[in-house]
Structure 1
Amino acid sequence: MGFVLRERWGAQPLWARCVLAVYLIGFAEGTGSHIADLVRGGIHAYASFPEIPLQVFFVSLVILDPLAAVLVGLVRREGIWLASVVMLLDVSANWWGNRHWLRDDPAQLLWLLPITVFGVFVVAFAVPLHHTVAGAASRSPVALPSG
């Protein structure tokens, strides 16, 4: 497995390895953040969001964030798409759940800037990264499982 993993990473151009590394860092940070929230607040850690679906989604990120990180780390195309979907939902849920700050205190929204920038980064690189990963898998001399 280690050889195949080195082959997958090594088959990527430098820009793609850098993007994959940023994905990994971002999803590792997200995993840690959501675990910390659950340790502090338990299953009701996101009770400040009045919408139950948002609360459920944020709790589910304890599974989705590390899953995306593992699939990205394995240089799987599924990981790129999962990362994009998770970030689209995460950014949207955060902005929707905190929309009251637009009226009450817009400066409070600055704390959404890092997640928004990361989300835009993930989505912006999804298609070129997918093509690069798919192309590298088809050119690899080692028989890699498709994906």
Structure 2
Amino acid sequence: MVFAAVGVFAYGGIVHLGDLLGVRPGGPNLSMPIWLMWYFASLTVFDPLAALLLALRRIEGLLLGCVVLASDAVANGYANYVLDSAPGVTLGRIGQAIITALAVALIAAAPRASPWLHRPGRFRPDRTV
């Protein structure tokens, strides 16, 4: 589960970097509120950070990942249902549903994954040598 989450966050970082650079079709447009553009831009840092912390088996990565996915689902919901006036199912709405499912899955799996992760101050190298 943790390895899958690392892949999801690495992919998310690449997608949001592509949005920031304007190379991904269907990414954010300039009519989007500035706070929402700043939020999506911040994910170019927070997605890879969550991936790195999870890869290092840090509990902070799991907590950051839960916050990032849940807030990303809410932000995409706002962008795709409030700001987008297109009727019916759109690619953005499908993507938002996937992000929501990933957020629910990670939050639900967090209690089972957390014992496998290192907590701050609990990692003590063996110094008996």
Q: TM-score, length-normalised on structure 1?
A: 0.69
Instruction: Give, in whole Å, the separation in 1 of the partners of 2:125 and 2:104.
Output: 33
Aligned length: 120
Residues 59 and 101 of structure 1: CA distance in aligned 2, closer, same or farther (over 3 Å): closer
1:114 to partner: Cα distance: 2.2
Structure having the larger proportion of residues in helix? 1
Task: Single out whichever of 120-129 and 86-95 deviates more from structure 2.
Answer: 120-129
Instruction: Give, in whole Å, the separation in 1 of the partners of 2:7 and 2:31.
Output: 26
Preserved contact between residue 49 and residue 97 of structure 1 (Cα < 8 Å): no
1:100 to partner: Cα distance: 3.6
Residues 49 and 87 of structure 1: CA distance in aligned 2, closer, same or farther (over 3 Å): farther
Preserved contact between residue 80 and residue 96 of structure 2 (Cα < 8 Å): no
Instruction: Give, in whole Å, the separation in 2 of the partners of 1:70 and 1:38.
Output: 21
Query: Hey, what does 1:52 align to over in structure 2?
Result: 34
Work out which of the residue numbers 128, 134, 145 in structure 1 matches 2:112: 128
Secondary structure class of the residue paired with 1:127: helix
Instruction: Give, in whole Å, the separation in 2 of the partners of 1:101 and 1:47.
Output: 11
Query: Hey, what does 2:68 align to over in structure 1?
Result: 86
The one-letter code of the counterpart of 2:56 is L
> Does 1:74 find its partner at 2:56?
yes
Q: TM-score, length-normalised on structure 2?
A: 0.78
1:132 to partner: Cα distance: 3.6
Which ranges of structure 1 fall in alignment gaps of 5 or more residues?
A: 1-18
Preserved contact between residue 57 and residue 116 of structure 2 (Cα < 8 Å): no
1:101 to partner: Cα distance: 7.5
1:33 to partner: Cα distance: 0.4
Query: Where do residues 87-106 of structure 1 align in structure 2 (5 Å cutoff)?
Result: 87-100=69-82, 104-106=86-88
1:107 to partner: Cα distance: 0.8
Residues 82 and 99 of structure 1: CA distance in aligned 2, closer, same or farther (over 3 Å): same
The one-letter code of the counterpart of 1:133 is L
Q: What are the superposed Cα offsets for residues 16-68 of structure 1, whole Å, 9 maximum, x if unpaired?
A: xxx11110110011011011112226xxx734563222111100000000000
